[in-house]
Amino acid sequence: MAHEHKLSIFRGTLTFKSNITKIWGVFVLLSIITVIEVAFGIIKPEFLTENTFLAMKLLNWIFIILTLVKAYYITWDFMHQRDETKGLRRSVVWTAIFLICYLVLILLIEGDYIYEVYQNNYIKFDF
Amino acid sequence: MDATVAKTGTEGKTWGGGNQPLKASYGKMMMWFFIVSDALTFSGFLASYGFSRFKFVDSWPIADEVFTHFPFLHGVDAPMYYVAFMTFILIFSSVTMVLAVDAGHKMQKSKVVLYMFLTIIGGLIFVGSQAWEWNTFIKGEYGAVETKGGKILQFLNTEGERVAISDFAIPIPSAKENHLDSNGVWYEQEGTITSFSFEEVKAGFMANDDLLIRTQYYDENGVPTVLSREASITKIMNDGKLVVEGANLRHNEYGSPLFADFFFFITGFHGFHVFTGVLINIIIFFNVVIGTYEKRGHYEMVEKVGLYWHFVDLVWVFVFTFFYLV
């Protein structure tokens, strides 16, 4: 079997000499992202918790975006999706992303609706 | 056309499986589609966590007030550090796994053995850490009172610091007697006995004027509401029902019992994946040691188990964000 690795990340900006150096490079990247996440989680800058974008705190947007970045590099470089054919990559990634987005959207809207019902009806919940 | 048993007559044809559009072996492809379905199971868990959190968005426990412990550091408030440590362990074991896959491609048996071994060690450290975290969560720290409506009341002093119930409860001698078989055949098993009864906690609360109650509902600043001394007394006298220490599937001293349920199910299901991952890694490790893949001519099995292992890491990245950070 031929094992050819694509050694460029960041859309070709950074090219590694070998697959092993790429692995360590991706590890450093993932570590930096995790450190940033933990630092934000401990410090919780007020500016980011008080301002919202599309009904979500900016801090939570940062967390979710950084998580997706990490997920991308784990899937693309550790799980070698970068080296697979487009067909395999898309049948795995697009299917999962579509179904998960759909599920999350439906359930969060429903949860928020039930919260409103609890708030506005005449049944007492805090006793 | 020379028809032999090995040929199906579809070679080179687009339909019928003649060419291989995905250029991946059967095993690897099936591992990928297993991962897709498993990812959907995990997202079902995490999405229902989101559902329940949105449903009780004004009273959901804040994770970094729950997971504040670090081994050997008693009484030190260390939110997030331990989970961050676990995340690093898992990411690092992913790195050793992918290095093992890489060494496998180059047919370097001894390197595969070394890296697989490190991966297994990393997995074991992670599972152990999770067991420690479960233990801490189940034992609890300060204790709380549950109301008749199943809400949690926690205790603060006037400086706003948490106070453990064991620090103020006044022991009341009681004539507690166990029901035995000799007194009657039918009886229900007694629930867990907390170290202090509700009456003892109530007496201690009334005797200490600097104790206040914090409810699980957020005020307009997004922090749990702290009641005045008068309101606290009214609350505990009218609504208080039982003492809760730690967390289980029914009661949770940190807030909504659903939070504990999701914690046990999501991290438990993930921990089970890590555990099976370690087992499969051990099997593959011994296969590598005895030279099975050397004889076979390729190390694709290492690659397949690697996919599973990275998937476990991938799931943890999401659990970390949606359970601990957001």
Q: Which of A94-98, B12-16, B213-217, B226-230 has the lowest mean pLDDT?
A: B12-16
pLDDT value, residue A1: 41
Residue that wins the pLDDT comparison between B158 and A125: B158
**How many beta carbons lie within 10 A of that of residue B191, not counting itself?**
9
Residue that wins the pLDDT comparison between B304 and B222: B304
Facing residue for B102 by CB, picked from A23, A38, A110:
A23
Q: Is the pLDDT of residue A2 over 50?
A: no
Facing residue for B84 by CB, picked from A38, A67, A108:
A38
* Residue B225 token pair: 């509401």
**How many beta carbons lie within 10 A of that of residue B78, not counting itself?**
15
pLDDT value, residue B66: 86
pLDDT value, residue A3: 57
pLDDT value, residue B207: 92
B278, B127 Cβ separation under 8 angstroms: yes
Q: Mutate which of B317, B318, B322 to test chain A, going by most A C-beta atoms within 10 A?
A: B317
pLDDT value, residue A122: 73
CB-CB under 8 Å, B310 with A74? yes
Q: What is the pLDDT of residues B232-265, one digit of tens each?
A: 999 999 999 899 999 999 999 999 999 999 999 9
CB-CB under 8 Å, B55 with A107? no
Q: Is the pLDDT of residue B9 over 70?
A: no
Cβ-Cβ pairs closer than 8 A, A with B, add up to: 148
Q: Give CA–CA dist A54/A117, Å, rounded.
A: 22
The model's pTM: 0.89
* Domain residue spans of chain A: 1-83, 85-127
pLDDT value, residue B91: 94
How many residues make up chain A in this entry? 127
CA distance A11 to chain B (A): 21
Q: Give CA–CA dist B266/B259, Å, rounded.
A: 10
Q: What is the pLDDT of residues B115-142, one digit of tens each?
A: 999 999 999 999 999 999 999 999 998 9
Strands (E), chain A: 8-9, 14-15, 52-53, 56-57
Please state, rounded to an integer, the average pLDDT across all residues of chain A: 89
The beta-carbon contacts of B128-137 under 8 Å, at least 24 apart in sequence, are B129/B82, B129/B85, B129/B86, B129/B89, B130/B86, B130/B267, B130/B271, B130/B274, B132/B71, B133/B67, B133/B82, B133/B83, B133/B86, B133/B267, B134/B264, B134/B267, B134/B268, B136/B69, B137/B66, B137/B67, B137/B246, B137/B247, B137/B260, B137/B263
Please state, rounded to an integer, the average pLDDT across all residues of chain B: 89
Locus of tokens 């997920």: A71
Ordered domains of chain B (ranges, CATH): 36-140+259-325 (1.20.120.80), 144-171+192-245 (no CATH)
Helix (H, G, I), strand (E, B) or coil at B193: coil
CB-CB under 8 Å, B24 with A84? yes
Q: Give CA–CA dist B315/B97, Å, rounded.
A: 16
Amino acid at B150: G
Residue in B323, B77, B57, B61 with CA at minimum distance from that of residue B215: B61
Average pLDDT over residues B13-41: 84
pLDDT value, residue B5: 52
Q: What is the pLDDT of residues B21-34, one digit of tens each?
A: 788 888 899 999 99
pLDDT value, residue A11: 78
Count of helix runs (H) and strand runs (E) in chain B: 11, 5
Question: Taking the alpha carbons of A70, A73, A76, A82 in that order, is the dihedral positive or negative?
Answer: positive
Locus of tokens 């921990």: B271
pLDDT value, residue B1: 45
DSSP string, B111-165: HHHHHHHHHHHHHHHHHHHHHHHHHHHHH-SS-EEEETTS-EEEEEETTS-B--H
pLDDT value, residue B7: 63
A51 CB neighbours in chain B (<8 A) are none
A88 CB neighbours in chain B (<8 A) are 22-24, 29, 32
* Residue B217 token pair: 């509902």
CA distance A13 to chain B (A): 22
- pLDDT above 90 as % of chain B: 65
Q: How confident is the model at residue B92 (pLDDT cuts 50, 70, 90)?
A: very high
Please compute Rg for chain A using Cα positions: 20
Q: What is the pLDDT of residues B272-286, one digit of tens each?
A: 999 999 999 999 999
Facing residue for A107 by CB, picked from B47, B57, B222:
B47
Helix (H, G, I), strand (E, B) or coil at A9: strand
pLDDT value, residue B15: 66
Q: Does A65 touch chain B (CB under 8 A)?
A: no
Residue-wise over A60-79: b if at least 16 C-beta within 10 A, else e?
A: bebbbebbeebbebbbbbbb
